[in-house]
Amino acid sequence: MTQNQRQSEIESNASFGPIELDYYPVGSGSDWFAKWLPGYPAPQRGYKIHVSVFPEDAEIVARSVLPALRRLRVAHKVVRNLERYRMQLTTAQQGKFITIYTKDSAQAQEVLNAINPELLQLRQYGGIRPGPAPTTRESGHAETEIPMGGSGFVWSRWYEEGDQD
């Protein structure tokens, strides 16, 4: 596939992580597509960032956030499609539309700087609403993650290899 063909592929409700953009399914029957870059594996520990959005706004948020993550070459995953995201919102995994794995606070800040300004604009001028706050497994899903950046879309927590979402 040529670079021009790749650039014409975009995220949609039918597939938030198109195979044409090198996303692939994580596990058989998984709800996730992932972007694990060759030579850029997910760090063993660091800040895990979640982007949360309501289903009606998922496509526009995917089109805003995912290209920025690919440019930064940061490990991330996204729910496969709108149908699976709607189902996920009824579980303890709610609020975890896009998951980003950063190695340290500097990379987490770089990601926030790349995605938050447009998310703020989408909220202020586009009427896009943040989704539910993601919760932590460690708290039995009683406590939310830490909000980042003031847009309402971005949440974070520290993780160690082997931690589950």
CATH of the domain at 55: 3.30.2430.10
In a domain, 9, yes or no: yes
Per the structure, the count of domains in the chain is 1
Q: Is 67 left (phi over 0), alpha (psi -120 to 50) or beta?
A: alpha
In a domain, 165, yes or no: no
In a domain, 88, yes or no: yes
Cα–Cα distance measured from residue 135 to residue 47, given in angstroms and rounded to the nearest whole number? 15
In a domain, 147, yes or no: yes
In a domain, 13, yes or no: yes
pLDDT digits (tens, 9 = 90+) for 111-165: 999 999 999 999 999 999 999 999 998 888 889 999 999 999 999 999 887 666 5
* Phi, psi dihedrals of residue 153, rounded to the nearest 5°: -90, -25
Give the pLDDT band of residue 64 (cuts 50, 70, 90): very high
Q: Residue 6 CA to chain centroid, in angstroms? A: 20
In a domain, 152, yes or no: yes
Name the residue range of residue 87's domain.
Answer: 3-160
